[in-house]
Amino acid sequence: MNGKRCIVTGANSGIGEVMAREFARRGAEVVMVCRNVDKAEAVRRSIVDATGNRAVSLVRCDLSDLDSVNACAEELLSRDVGFDVLMNNAGIYLPRREENARGHEMMFATNHLGPFLLTHRLLPRLEGARVVTTSSMGHKLCQFRIDDLDARRRFLPIEQYGVTKLCNILFARELARREGGRGILSHAFHPGPVATGFAQDAPGSLFGYALRLGKFALRTPERGARTGIFLATSKEAEAKNGEYWVDEKVAWTTPAARSRELALELWRLSELMTGVA
C-alpha cells in the first residue's frame, strides 16, 4: 500500500485500530478519525512505534454531531489530496434512547448519518477509491421502518442497532450504484462478534449475549478486521461492487437489505437530514 492514503474512522480501538495499524504496516499514509483525541493520540503513537511509519495522523470527529463531521471533512479536503480508502468503521450501541443536538436518535446519527455525510463531503477526493462500511449481522434482527428511522414510535435497542446496520448495507449498495462509474468500490461487511469493549457492558447488547455464551464465541479484533482489510486491499473485491461480505465472501442479506426502493428512499432522506440535498 505504499503511496496509498487511507482514512479509518473509530481507529482508536478494536477493529479500527487493527485496520489502521495494518495499513500503516503496509506503507500507507493513514488518517485516524476519532472522537476521543487523547486516547487516539496514544494509539497513533503506538502505531508509529510498531510500524516505523510516521505518516499516521489524527483528525477529531464526533460522528453523532453533523457540525463536527463537516469540520472533519473540511480539514481533510484542505489537504488537497485524493484518498484511496475510506473505512466507515466507527459505531456505537446504546441501551437507552438518546438524541443528538438535531433530534436524531444517537445510534442512527452515529452509525449512519455521520458516515453518510462524511462520505458525501469527501466524494470529490474519492475517485477510484474503496469505501468500506462496517455493518453487522444484526441487520437481520430488525423490523425496518423507513418512516421511523429515529425510533420515535418504538425503541428497542437491539432492533434500532440492527436498523442502523441495515442502513449501512443500503448505503453501501446505493453508493456503488451512483459512483461505480467513477471507479469507486463500495462494500459493507460483518466483522463477527468481536472481543472488544464495544457495548460489552450494555444490558441487552448483542455483545453481552455473546459474552454470556462464553468468550470462545468471540473473535479477536485481528480476526474481526480481516474482511475489512480484504475489501480495502484485495484484487478479489474489485470483481464485485455494492455487496455485503462475511469472512471474505459475499453473504446472504435480507430482502430489505437488497431493496433498491429502500436504498433510494434512505439516500433521499439522508440527504435531507444531513443538509446535502
Record the cell numbers describing residue 196, joined without a space: 472488544
DSSP-derived letter for residue 109 is I
Residue type, 139: H
Q: CA 145, CA 150: separation in Å to the nearest integer?
A: 10
Of 93, 161, 209, 244, which residue is the catalytic one? 161
Q: Give the count of beta carbons closer than 10 Å to the beta carbon of residue 46.
A: 13
Among 170, 176, 184, 168, residue whose Cα is nearest residue 242: 176
DSSP-derived letter for residue 104 is -
Judge whether 161 counts as a catalytic residue.
yes
Record the cell numbers describing residue 104, joined without a space: 436524531
Strand pairing partners for 8?
32, 87
**Residue carrying the nine cell digits 484542505:** 78
- Catalytic sites, residue numbers: 161
